Amino acid sequence: MRRFAGKLTELVTVLLISSFIVFAIGALLPGDPTVTVLGENATVQQREQLRDELGLDDPLLVRYIRWATDAVRGDLGTSLRTQEPVATIITDRLPVTLQLTFMSIVLAIVVGLPLGVVAAKWHGGSVDLGISVIGLSSLAVPYFWLGILLILLFSLQLGWLPPSGHEPFFQSPAENLRLMILPVITIGTAMAALVMRQTRTAMLEAMSQDYVRTARAKGQSETGTVLRHALRNALNPVVTVVGLQFGSLMGGAVVTETIFSIPGLGRLVVDGIFNRDLAVVQGAILTIVVCVVVINLLTDLLYERLDPRVKL
Amino acid sequence: MSVTDTRDIGSTPGQAPTRQALFALLRHPMGMAGGAIIACVVLTALLAPIITTVGPADIDYTAILQPPSANYIFGTDEIGRSVYSRTVYGAQIALVIVGGSVGLALISGTLIGLVSGYFGGRTDTILMRIMDAILAFPTLVLALAIVAILGPSLLNALIAIAIVSVPSFARLARGSVLVVRELDYVKAARTMGASSPRVMFLHIAPNIMANIIVFASLMASAALITESGLSFLGLGVQPPTPSWGYMVAVGMNYWTSWWMSFFPGLAIFLTVLGFNLFGDALRDVLDPRQTGSQT
């Protein structure tokens, strides 16, 4: 329990530092926010009045504390461009990105786990080699290139799937899923390869352990041994790799959402940067960072649950 | 004199394994494949003016959006430039950014890790929490923000990628320092009165470098992925300088001219694959504990 408290303090410290970085990013982005709001032709007085209202001339630390306390209360400011509250924009965008990332994780596990088990079971053979080569290649494909190849093949050449766009899930689930197939494959492929490699390594390790030999000696069937004894113990590192990769999935979402015109958090960051919409950039990046940090903590906790030998 | 002796004791047994590792690497098929790919990319970059007939910025108005042919083997782009020539010259940009950013990150990350692991205590806590905070950002998102602040250019992309890679090097270096710090020869050096910088740089650093260099070859592929992601989003190297990521992005506006994004993307894919294969092999060879399960 004390260690859990320690973990929590660590988490809060990390959140404080990273939130300061997020704030600094917004504050340091070039461009005058008053130009974004008032346009080029406003008078000096109008500008100064706005700077005063937004508190832009206060010291950085004062502005950070003000921003952070508001953020904790759920107020992330208003978009300089659309005048909408940033929190509302994020509430619209976040579910889209979460759907994309979680579906990618499911794909990665459904594909990666069995392949890893198969590769470990027949390790050293041609099946293993084949799976490993596919895995290595999948890890080397940049998200955006894979996305484009998928569109070229499945949308433009074969005409099976729409090339881009998004439908909210609750409006038309079928269309939503159809539009999600290519983006999910785009992000999920590299993740599947990681899961596969991790499963393979962990399975090989587990299968050389005494308890597996004991299970075999007791007459347990080969499938039973592999699935019930080896795989169960090999799952921990797999959980860790999935949890720790959540951040890179979010990064993948940035390019993938751009290619497939999906209105998610990643595209919000990119658009915000190009539009110099500071509050939006800060809010969106802060949300991403909080998600990553929380998922990392959950991964640690789950790891402990799965393996009673590990104590946090 | 006596301190020098200690260093000799530390390094002499290290010599033979290094040579052994080199031979093992030569016998590692995946590692050789990776090394061959990297060598090809380096040669392509160096020999670019010799292996191309037109410059990367040369425009041929009579050949706009031409599919691959005998004249233009990778086809031409929307203003009639050779995609082949641009892909070849793009290797120079890719290598400069990868080499520069990984080198910069390696030096600063190792320094931070050395200080953090050697001094421990509050210094360690503060430095590591800052590193954790940076690691909480998805690489591309943070790199994007840094470039947006500094302004898009080759140098700024290099700096941004270096900054996002520093924490990984720092954590690895710190972990290795914690192990090496407790070895007898380091304790001996300290007992004999060697100063902290001397112990850190002369006694500890050489002993953790192997790990860090292996890691650097794996980070090289991450750096290239980030660089191409930045260029793809329009925040990397600015046109007309040929950058693979940007070429892929432009190709997206001309769907029927698939060759515009296919070939530069293939170049990214192969280079990343090369770095990954080589890095994996280095790790297999230098870390005997892992070899059994990896191959």
Per-residue pLDDT reduced to its tens digit, B92-113: 999 999 999 999 999 999 999 9
Q: How sure is the predictor about B130, in pLDDT bands with cuts at 50, 70 and 90?
A: very high
What was the pLDDT predicted at B199? 86
**Per the domain annotation, does B28 fall within a domain?**
no
Chain B residues with beta carbon closer than 8 angstroms to that of A143: 229
* Same domain, residue pair A63 and A178: no
* Same domain, residue pair A72 and A149: no
Total domain count for chain A? 2
What was the pLDDT predicted at A1? 65
What was the pLDDT predicted at A179? 86
**Per the domain annotation, does B24 fall within a domain?**
no
DSSP state of B66: P
Q: Is A128 exposed, middle or buried (0-12, 13-18, 19+ CB in 10 A)?
A: middle
* Same domain, residue pair A50 and A104: no
Concatenate the DSSP letters of all residues of A131-168 into one string. HHHHHHHHHHS-HHHHHHHHIIIIIIIS--S-SS----
Sign (positive or negative) of CA dihedral A33, A36, A38, A43: positive
- What is the ipTM, given to two decimal places? 0.86
**Per the domain annotation, does B280 fall within a domain?**
yes
Closest chain A residue by Cα to residue B264: A145
What value, to the nearest 5°, has the Cα angle with vertex A68 and ends A67 and A69? 95
CB contact under 8 A, A14 and B139: no
* Same domain, residue pair A71 and A162: no
Q: Helix axis angle, A278-306 relative to B139-150, nearest 10°?
A: 160
Interface test with B, best of A16, A22, A137, A144 (most B CBs within 10 A): A144
**Quick one: which of B212, B218, B275 has its CA closest to B35?**
B275
Interface test with A, best of B122, B127, B132, B141 (most A CBs within 10 A): B141
* Cβ density class B131-154: b for 16+ within 10 Å, e for less: bbbbbbbbbbbbbbbbbbbbebeb
Closest CA of chain B from A200, distance in Å:
9
Supply A298's token pair: 């959950």
Cβ atoms A77, A282 nearer than 8 A:
yes
> Which member of B130, B232, B294 has the closest CB to residue A255?
B232
Cβ atoms B217, B84 nearer than 8 A:
no
Residues with Cβ within 8 Å of residue A206, at least 6 apart in sequence: A212, A229, A230, A231, A233, A234
* Same domain, residue pair A37 and A152: no
- d(Cα B98, Cα B93) in Å, to the nearest integer? 8
Please tell me the least confidently modeled range out of B55-59, B187-191, B197-201, B227-231: B55-59
Residue B159 has pLDDT above 90, yes or no: yes
- The end-to-end CA distance of chain A, in Å, is 9
Domain boundary among A24, A52, A86: A86
**Per the domain annotation, does B133 fall within a domain?**
yes
Supply B50's token pair: 């010799």
* Same domain, residue pair A81 and A60: yes
Total domain count for chain B? 1
Q: Is A126 exposed, middle or buried (0-12, 13-18, 19+ CB in 10 A)?
A: exposed
**Per the domain annotation, does B27 fall within a domain?**
no
Chain A residues with beta carbon closer than 8 angstroms to that of B235: 273
* Same domain, residue pair A22 and A74: yes
- The end-to-end CA distance of chain B, in Å, is 44
CB contact under 8 A, A273 and B258: no
- Three-class secondary structure of residue A311 per DSSP: coil
CB contact under 8 A, A251 and B269: no
**Per the domain annotation, does B223 fall within a domain?**
yes
* Same domain, residue pair A131 and A225: yes
CATH of the domain at B135: 1.10.3720.10
Chain B residues with beta carbon closer than 8 angstroms to that of A205: 293
pLDDT tens string for chain A (312 positions)?
677 787 888 888 999 999 999 998 888 888 777 777 777 777 888 888 888 877 777 888 888 898 899 888 888 888 888 888 999 999 999 999 999 999 999 999 999 999 998 888 888 888 888 888 888 889 899 999 999 999 989 888 888 888 888 888 788 888 888 888 899 999 999 999 999 988 888 888 877 777 777 777 777 777 777 777 777 777 777 888 888 888 888 888 899 999 999 999 999 999 998 888 888 999 999 999 999 988 888 888 887 777 666 554
* Same domain, residue pair A111 and A187: yes
Cβ atoms A14, A293 nearer than 8 A:
yes
Is the Cβ of B161 closer than 8 Å to some Cβ of chain A?
no
Q: For residue B82, list its beta bridge partners.
A: B76
Cβ atoms B35, B282 nearer than 8 A:
no
Chain B residues with beta carbon closer than 8 angstroms to that of A13: 129
Supply B37's token pair: 């790919």
Cis upstream peptide for B13 (omega within 30°): no
Q: For residue B76, list its beta bridge partners.
A: B82
Q: What are phi and psi of B245, to 5 degrees?
A: -60, -45
Query: Residue B258 sits in which domain range?
Result: 41-65+72-294
Other C-beta atoms lying within 10 Å of the C-beta of residue B174: 24
Cβ atoms A148, B252 nearer than 8 A:
yes
What was the pLDDT predicted at A311? 53
Overall residue count recorded for chain B in this entry: 295
**Quick one: which of B113, B143, B295, B294 has its CA closest to B226?**
B143
* Same domain, residue pair A142 and A287: yes
CB contact under 8 A, B137 and A247: yes
Concatenate the DSSP letters of all residues of B191-206 into one string. HTT--HHHIIIIIIHH
Supply B255's token pair: 């769907």
Domain boundary among A62, A86, A110: A86
Domain boundary among A57, A86, A115: A86
Q: What are phi and psi of B55, to 5 degrees?
A: -75, 165
Chain A residues with beta carbon closer than 8 angstroms to that of B294: 201
* Average pLDDT score over chain B: 84
Chain B residues with beta carbon closer than 8 angstroms to that of A292: 136-138
B211-260: pLDDT as tens digits = 888 889 889 999 999 999 999 998 888 888 889 999 998 888 888 888 88
Q: For residue A78, list its beta bridge partners.
A: A85
**Per the domain annotation, does B224 fall within a domain?**
yes
CB contact under 8 A, B141 and A136: no
Q: How many CA atoms lie within 13 A of B138 on its CB side?
A: 31
- d(Cα A267, Cα A284) in Å, to the nearest integer? 10
- d(Cα B131, Cα B169) in Å, to the nearest integer? 10
CB contact under 8 A, A255 and B229: yes
> Which member of B225, B233, B251 has the closest CB to residue A270?
B233
What was the pLDDT predicted at B3? 37
What was the pLDDT predicted at B134? 93
**Per the domain annotation, does B6 fall within a domain?**
no
Cβ atoms B279, B218 nearer than 8 A:
yes
CB contact under 8 A, A144 and B140: no
Cβ atoms A171, A96 nearer than 8 A:
no
Closest chain A residue by Cα to residue B247: A145
What was the pLDDT predicted at B55? 80
Closest CA of chain B from A129, distance in Å:
10
Residues with Cβ within 8 Å of residue B31, at least 6 apart in sequence: B25, B277, B278, B280, B281, B282, B284, B285
Is the Cβ of B73 closer than 8 Å to some Cβ of chain A?
no
Supply B17's token pair: 């394994």
Other C-beta atoms lying within 10 Å of the C-beta of residue A2: 7
Interface test with A, best of B137, B159, B295 (most A CBs within 10 A): B137
* Same domain, residue pair A106 and A158: yes
What was the pLDDT predicted at B96? 94
Q: What is the pTM of this model?
A: 0.86
- Three-class secondary structure of residue B257 per DSSP: coil
Other C-beta atoms lying within 10 Å of the C-beta of residue A14: 23
* Same domain, residue pair A141 and A71: no
CB contact under 8 A, A149 and B140: no
Query: Residue A160 sits in which domain range?
Result: 93-311
Is the Cβ of B33 closer than 8 Å to some Cβ of chain A?
no
Residue B122 has pLDDT above 50, yes or no: yes
Residue B18 has pLDDT above 70, yes or no: no
Q: How sure is the predictor about B9, in pLDDT bands with cuts at 50, 70 and 90?
A: very low
Determine the residue type at A92: D
